[in-house]
Amino acid sequence: MFTKDFYNIIDGELNDLLEKYKDDKFIQKHRNAINNQKSYALLIWFLEFYGKISSYTSFITDGDNDSSCDIVFDKINNYGDKIFYVVQSKWNNAGNSEKESDKDEILKALSDFTTILRGEKDDFNDKLKLKVEELDKHLKENGEVKFIFLTLSQYRRGADENIKAFINNDEKIKFEVIDINRIKLDYIDRKYKKIEPLNPLETYQNPEESLIDIEIVQGNGRIEIQKPFEAYMFLLRPKSIYDLFEKYGFALFYKNVRNPLLQSEFNEEIEKTAIENPAYFWYYNNGITAITYLLPKIGKKAEKLQLTGLQIINGAQTVYSIYRAYKNASPTKRIQMDSESLLTLRLLKSGGTDFDLNVTRYTNSQNPIYDRDFCANDDIQIRLQNDSYQTKFWYEKRRDEFRELPEGITKVTNHIFANVYLAYHLQDPVSVINNYKHYKETSKELIFVSHREHQDGLYEKIFNDRTSFEDMLCAFYIFDIVCGYYFCSYEDTFETAYYHLIALFKVSFTNYLQAKFDKKLNVNKYIINTYEKNEKESILKTFKFIDQFVRKQLEIENNEEKTTDGIIKFLFKLSYYERIKDALNDLDISVKDIEDIVLEDGDEIIEMDNSED
């Protein structure tokens, strides 16, 4: 999804708000000033999307007669502390949505915020004046205030030094820029993944590093395991689960291979049981499994304990469903739930990365879990996915994570991206085929397995600091063009020399472009532009040229057995592939060699037999 496309979605929602609240005095007053109206609507949108506040009138304070608007309001956060928020919005037109935020606008916002802090502004209206007085009292009581600059342009850290100077004056002062890219990530999480994004109007701590208090039930005893790793199993009441999630939110599940969905039939059934049949809950539910780094000794009569760090690695849906049920329950129903419902907690001391990963893997084995699911929370996977949101092909890092897709967007799994990247960019098509054979035999994808876990693991080779989504997208575009021409399904590509030809394509096409334009080009960008303009002929002709070249290298006249042996070596031996690649590199490719290729219906790619090795 290009930035402009997403901008149009948000701008359309702003127009809907302006129509919905057309009788609002501020909207009426600025009916001829679109900047003021849209900035005002952006504040309403912000309150509804992040604050889930539908009645906005008591929050927004009419700003100056410029294109910005202010909110000053207080809110009790998830830790029970009162926080004041000051939000200034800046609407931008579509043309500016792809540009960097004007540094002067942020500096002006910082100046306005400083003036609000000092209470020195001359033209405060009555509503703003009252909120500023409350804010001043809050600061004098050692309270915290967070300033937010909300913009539909792109912030690229241009004012970081100024922001740093602003917040360094007072440890109780926070500042955050929420730009169109941040809004897009959060919008995709909620709208298309059905998971809750991090909320700028909440305070988060990392539960892996925090001291966590938890209440347990010991009336029925507890089970203690001492070797090889310490562990306990005991019972919790719904309130303990509610308190945990209320404080730490989705960060509790960072190491879980599944994020809880905001809505699902499974979650609804858990909630229904918790509310309507709380006494049955323990019988119907498997409980949750969590890991902590320092596990204290727990006495037989203990009802409270303090943990150093906590991650729930199995049972995310259960935790979130109990939280929702308890939150929406009446005080009387909560008492009933706490008196009748019990939930099993298996609490394990961390045994290191490999042990923790295996516990996560095996405790989630009741439903199919793939190797790539265990990598989904890695920083590199998150970065690649976020970069893909600037395109029409979204990188799926976890199976079925996108519950919906906007019109014009296609999801592509990360194992497809990984395979084409490994073949094209890393020039290792042999590993693609060998990995496929290994997967068919063991159901284990080596492209998502570390070399520390398996000697042939490819994960670090493919995914590292040098891996860019642009390189992956370029490789995928070639893959998609050729698949479309040869009517290949994804599974079909492993029955031919497809990945080897894609790898050799990089060599030939680079030489072809050099000959055609007599200068070095950015080949990736050229291929991406060619694909997006639907000008694919040169790519298909180059691919066919390579196919013909390889056939000539492998075919032994009147000797089918040696030809077959050569094809097998080409497919499964990297040294043999490199020999063909060297021969192609030595070839003096002219523009005519490529452009005289004739594309015909019925063209076929070199076939292979996966039963051979």
- 509 domain residue, yes or no: yes
Residues 239 and 172 in one domain: no
Q: What letter does residue 20 receive in the DSSP assignment?
A: H
- 118 domain residue, yes or no: yes
Q: What letter does residue 405 receive in the DSSP assignment?
A: -
**Other Cβ atoms within 10 Å of 324 Cβ, number:** 21
pLDDT of residue 213: 85
Output the CA–CA distances (angstroms, integers) from residue 363 to 35, 256, 266, 568, in the order listed: 53, 10, 18, 41
- Spatial contact of 329 and 354, defined as CB atoms under 8 Å apart: no
What is the residue range of 255's domain?
A: 211-369
CA 575 to chain centre: 38
Final residue before a domain boundary, out of 193, 226, 243 = 193
CA-closest candidate to residue 409, choices 379, 385, 435: 385
Place of tokens 């900035």: 39
- Spatial contact of 41 and 14, defined as CB atoms under 8 Å apart: yes
Residues 244 and 126 in one domain: no
Q: Which residues have C-beta within 8 Å of that of residue 163, sequence separation ≥ 6?
A: 106, 110, 175, 177
Residues 52 and 182 in one domain: yes
Task: Determine the Cα–Cα distance for residues 228 and 223; give it in Å rounded to an integer.
Answer: 15
- 13 domain residue, yes or no: yes
Residues 224 and 163 in one domain: no
Output the CA–CA distances (angstroms, integers) from residue 372 to 414, 445, 530, in the order listed: 8, 8, 31
What is this structure's pTM?
0.80
Place of tokens 């070199």: 606
- 452 domain residue, yes or no: no
In the predicted model, residues of the chain with pLDDT beneath 50 are 64-68, 610-613
Helix-, strand-, coil-residue percentages of the chain, each rounded to 5: 50, 15, 35
pLDDT of residue 611: 44
What type of residue is 432? V
Task: Determine the Cα–Cα distance for residues 317 and 305; give it in Å rounded to an integer.
Answer: 24
Residues 355 and 383 in one domain: no
User: Which conformational region is residue 373 in: left (phi greater than 0), alpha (psi within -120 to 50 degrees), or beta?
Assistant: alpha
Q: What letter does residue 562 receive in the DSSP assignment?
A: H
Residues 365 and 385 in one domain: no
Residues 384 and 361 in one domain: no
Exposure string over 234-252, b if 16+ CB within 10 A, otherwise e? bbbbbbbbbbbbebbbbbb
Q: H or E segment at 176?
A: strand 173-178
Residues 98 and 238 in one domain: no
Place of tokens 């001492």: 226
